[in-house]
Amino acid sequence: MGTPQNIPGAVPVYEDFARCVHCGLCLNNCPTYRLWHLEGDSPRGRIRQMILVGNGELPLSEGFVGHIDKCLDCRACETACPSGVEYGKLVEHARARIENEYQRPLFTRFARNIVFKRLLPYPSRIAFAARLLRFYQRSGLQSLARATGILKLLGLAEREKLLPRIDDHFFFGELGKTFPAQGTRRARVAFFAGCIANVTFTKLNEATIRILTANGCEVVVPSEQFCCGALAAHAGVRETARQLARKNIAAFAGGQFDAILTNAAGCGSTLKEYDHLFSANEPEHAAAVVFSKNMRDVTEFLATLGLVATLKETRLRVTYQDSCHLLHGQKVREAPRQLLRAIPGIEFVELPYSDICCGSAGVYNVTQTEAALDLLKEKMDYAKATRAATIVTANPGCLLQLRAGAEIHKTGQNVVHVVELLDSALKQQVIP
């Protein structure tokens, strides 16, 4: 099939597409197929469209772009696929192609440009935007906006609910620090703090450092780290993702770390695949391979290392929603469950269809709000039925989405990260 020009990094070839034998075993694992039952919104149908567009048999039309945009990139189809189709790579490539060859409406272009190229790559701008948003949330403006119904008028009521609450202090201040291990040092790790997480998940990041140090890890938080580039890569804004990858690879190089850790499954999945952003003959490729090989999700790392810190009894019925990019992107299923079961007193119940996306999917809940809310509704119905007091997950995006879900559908459930639950069960709270 014809290969489009100007897409940097590794590009899929005929064999990558031909791996799909159109058996259809992915269909019912695809959240959007489950919603609409359209072949065009199934993994098999999307791959077929990519092939046809690649061969010039279909135009790169609004229809094609719509089906590719509606994909959550949750990669549940990869788990379902017996043939080993690497769908994530294919859809990212299709999106890069759309980015190059398709003219989106003016406002969309403007918004995408701001978010992917002008905001996320710059920590100072994230902090500035966060302060603005914090002002909105704390000054009474938010209550005013909600009360007057202006949000509903603008069609933003649901989206506004999905906005993260901005932290009182930012994690940015912790960059460049090293946190010593409690007791015997069992490992030396680097912590990847994320971008938005620095202003909305400070407490999660702090909890991550506490649980790591409590279990004998020396934690280094390198200062010159940036956004991982996952959102840009998923959106097809590949050059931005590559620039960020170069900076992060440099920031974490030479530290003699046993592993580089993240508590964000979405970031982790991209960080583990930095080598795909560069083709094999590019100079950055070798360093990217080294970086990716050393990358671990914090749950994966802790489950392998084994917990040594004493955990106090926590009488709580919990359920676990798989974060797609942990389960499907990184193939980590057991580690978070194992950690949850390690907390004495925890009653763990499986969430039916926990392998189906909650609708968060990066910026999906903003760009495809209706679909995201439909998926969320089904998710919360099942979550409610588990009668769990707490829903646990492994990625900040999922946390936001599920928290919104608990609020919208009034399930009364608490939503926390695996690490936060472990942290709250730590006997001696150590302040980092």
Partner 1 sequence: MPASLLRELNSLLGSSNVLHKNEDLVLYEYDGSVEKARPDLVVFPHTTEDVSRIVKLAAKYNVPVVGRGSGTGLSGGALARGGGILIVFARMNRILELDLENARAVVQPGVVNLDITRAVEHAGLYFAPDPSSQKSCTIGGNVAENAGGPHTLAYGVTVNHVTALELVLPDGEIVRVGSKHGDTPGYDLCGLFVGSEGTLALVTEITVKLTRKAEAVKTLLAIFDAVDDASNTVAEITARGITPAACEMVDGWTLCAIEDYIHAGFPRDSAAILLIEVEGLREAVEAQAAAVEDVCRTHHAREVRIAKDDCERDLLWKGRKNAFGALGRLAPSSYVLDGVIPRSKLPQALQQISQIGKKYGFSIGNIFHAGDGNLHPIVLYDPRDPRQFENAIAASHEILSYCVELGGALTGEHGVGMEKNELMPLLFSDADFDLMRRVHDACNPDSSLNPGKIFPLSKGCGEIRVRKQAETLPAHV
Q: Are 396 and 420 in contact (CB under 8 A)?
A: no
Residue from the set 6, 55, 56, 63 that interacts with partner 1 by CB under 8 A: 63
In the complex, minimum distance from the CB of residue 87 to partner 1, in angstroms, rounded to a whole number: 13
Q: Is 118 in the site for partner 1 (CB under 8 A)?
A: no
Site string for partner 1, 76-105 (x = CB under 8 A): ----xxxxxx--------------------
Scan for tokens 């399930």, then name that residue: 411
Q: Residue 430 class from Cβ within 10 Å (0-12 exposed, 13-18 middle, 19+ buried)?
A: middle
Q: Is 60 in the site for partner 1 (CB under 8 A)?
A: no
In the complex, minimum distance from the CB of residue 294 to partner 1, in angstroms, rounded to a whole number: 22
Q: Is 21 in the site for partner 1 (CB under 8 A)?
A: yes
Rounded CA-CA distance 337/147 in Å is: 41
Number of residues that bind partner 1 (CB under 8 A): 34
Q: What SS3 class is residue 417?
A: strand
Cα separation values, 230 from 266, 267, 277, 363, 384, Å: 7, 6, 11, 11, 31
Structure tokens at 430: 């150590």
Alpha helix stretches (DSSP H) within 253-368: 265-271, 285-294, 298-305, 324-327, 334-341, 364-367
Residue-wise DSSP of 354-372:
TTS--S-TTTHHHHTHHHH
In the complex, minimum distance from the CB of residue 144 to partner 1, in angstroms, rounded to a whole number: 38
In the complex, minimum distance from the CB of residue 397 to partner 1, in angstroms, rounded to a whole number: 27
Q: Which is nearer to partner 1, 1 or 119 (CB)?
A: 1
Q: Is 121 in the site for partner 1 (CB under 8 A)?
A: no
Q: Is 20 in the site for partner 1 (CB under 8 A)?
A: yes
Q: Closest by alpha carbon to 276, among 307, 241, 310?
A: 241
Q: In sequence order, what are the beta bridge partners of 187?
A: 217
Q: Is 150 in the site for partner 1 (CB under 8 A)?
A: no
Q: Is 148 in the site for partner 1 (CB under 8 A)?
A: no
Q: Is 139 in the site for partner 1 (CB under 8 A)?
A: no
Residue from the set 22, 131, 138, 341 that interacts with partner 1 by CB under 8 A: 22
In the complex, minimum distance from the CB of residue 44 to partner 1, in angstroms, rounded to a whole number: 8
Alpha helix stretches (DSSP H) within 102-122: 106-112
Cα separation values, 264 from 212, 323, 430, Å: 15, 9, 22
Q: Is 341 in the site for partner 1 (CB under 8 A)?
A: no
Q: Is 228 in the site for partner 1 (CB under 8 A)?
A: no
In the complex, minimum distance from the CB of residue 431 to partner 1, in angstroms, rounded to a whole number: 41
Q: Binders of partner 1 among 349-408, rule CB under 8 A?
A: 352
Q: Closest by alpha carbon to 87, among 291, 328, 292?
A: 328
Q: Binders of partner 1 among 26-45, rule CB under 8 A?
A: 26-29, 37, 39-40, 45
In the complex, minimum distance from the CB of residue 341 to partner 1, in angstroms, rounded to a whole number: 15
Sites of contact with partner 1 (CB under 8 A): 14-15, 18-29, 37, 39-40, 45, 48-49, 52, 57-59, 61, 63-64, 80-85, 352
